[in-house]
Amino acid sequence: MIQITPQMRILVAVEAQDFRKGIDGLARICREVLEVDPFGGTLFVFRNRRGTAIKCLVYDSQGFWLAQKRLSRGRFRWWPTSATAAATLEAHQLQRLIVGGDPAARDAAPVWRRLRTG
């Protein structure tokens, strides 16, 4: 199971990708385009050209996880536009993106903070 933690580094590829690519093809994009080691525990998020689906790729020290979500209607409304190849997200922003929302919206969940005990 893919666990998304607040400490996890999350990169969103700005350019749309060919979704015929599997784990090996997306790992190559991570290395060559995003210039990040796909074996480092970073969670990578890609979208298809139409904006109707996203794929998440992450290595968990035993192997790769590849998850895909395709919307039954509509498109993912938000996607980063940047001069760089990737944008970063926090865990709560990724969860918002996965449900088809805008992670940059003001009503998104607050940033995670450590609770004080005692």
For the segment 44-89, what is each residue's pLDDT rounded down to a tens digit? 999 999 999 999 999 998 999 999 999 998 998 888 887 678 888 8
Q: Quote the CA–CA distance of 26 and 90 in Å, as a whole number.
A: 21
Burial 93-107 (b: 16+ CB within 10 A, else e): bbebbbeebebeeee
Strand order in the sheet with 10-13: 64-70, 53-59, 43-47, 10-13, 86-89
User: Token pair 């990708």 is at which residue?
Assistant: 17
Question: Across residues 7-34, what is the average pLDDT?
Answer: 94
Full-model pTM: 0.84
Q: Quote the CA–CA distance of 61 and 85 in Å, as a whole number.
A: 25
Q: Quote the CA–CA distance of 15 and 49 in Å, as a whole number.
A: 8
Q: With bands split at pLDDT 50, 70 and 90, how would you rate the model's confidence at 111?
A: low
